[in-house]
Structure 1
Amino acid sequence: MNLINKLVAAWDRRRAYAALMQLDDRLLADIGMNRGTISERLTRAARDINVAPAPVAVLRPAVAAANEDSVIRRAA
């Protein structure tokens, strides 16, 4: 992996970390994570060449999480 790819991968991990940290605890639990395991999971995914981190666009930070949370509350 060349330097550019390493920098892009590190940048993607930082963005994924920030997006996951913006989710509330209930949403993290729904995907089998908690705040203490976010860093560990991203590090493990970066080491494992067979598992790519989820694209940040899929994680949609706080806005999507807030919208989803409000939809869930209205449905309940």
Structure 2
Amino acid sequence: GLVESYPQLKANDNIKQLQEELTTTENKIAFARQFYNDSVNAYNNRRQSFPAVLAAASLGFGPIELFNMPEAERAVPAVALR
């Protein structure tokens, strides 16, 4: 990338801050995905237990699918610095 081609950019405080913010954002997204999937698993497990299974079926509460994203779509987008 651009930063690798121009090492002096690594010393730039704005570039450092941008890299930190991008990393933090990626971590927040990963955490949110995991939290969502953990919540879905808890819901689906509870929904299948007695007596919740009776209420869920009669009220139309079906299972929820986990959040799955193909690895290619999880790739971090490139940031163009100009």
The TM-score, its normalising length taken from structure 1, stands at 0.38
The TM-score, its normalising length taken from structure 2, stands at 0.36
CA radius of gyration, larger in: 2
Q: Which has the higher contact order (CA 8 A, sep 6+)?
A: 1
